[in-house]
């Protein structure tokens, strides 16, 4: 039976990290970790690590919603760990770059 973990971490006012992963027999079979910024009362994804296309990748968005996709050459387990760590360490940098684009 798969185990599902979902949680949200508030990093600052209007900044949150959403974390989701599903494991089966101790291995990650699905995951997504998002950094989101509230812009005009709507949550917008800034960066997301996930495996929605069958491979680990990161999507980075600009304020207009344009997306850049880059493969992450890691297992789902390692990509989840890295993505979670990277957002925890660099959320301020990602937030600032995202919000600067709207000026």
Comparing CA positions, the residue from 42, 36, 43, 52 lying closest to residue 94 is 36
Residue 103 pLDDT = 43
Q: What share of the chain is helix, strand, coil (3-state, %, to 5)?
A: 25, 50, 25
Residue 101 pLDDT = 65
> CA 100, CA 103: separation in Å to the nearest integer?
6
Taking only the tens of pLDDT, the chain with its 103 residues reads: 899 999 999 999 999 999 999 999 999 999 999 999 999 999 999 999 999 989 999 999 999 999 999 999 999 999 999 999 999 999 999 999 999 865 4
Residue 28 pLDDT = 97
């Amino acid at each position: 039976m798969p185990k599902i973990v979902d949680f949200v971490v508030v990093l600052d006012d209007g900044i949150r990290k959403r974390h989701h992963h599903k494991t089966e027999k101790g291995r990650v079979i699905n995951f997504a970790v998002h950094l989101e910024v509230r812009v005009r009362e709507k949550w917008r994804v800034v960066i997301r690590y996930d495996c929605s296309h069958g491979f680990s990748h990161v999507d980075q968005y600009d304020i207009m919603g344009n997306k850049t996709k880059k493969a992450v050459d890691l297992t789902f387990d390692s990509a989840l760990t890295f993505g979670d760590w990277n957002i925890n360490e660099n959320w301020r940098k990602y937030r600032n770059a995202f919000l600067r684009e709207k000026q």
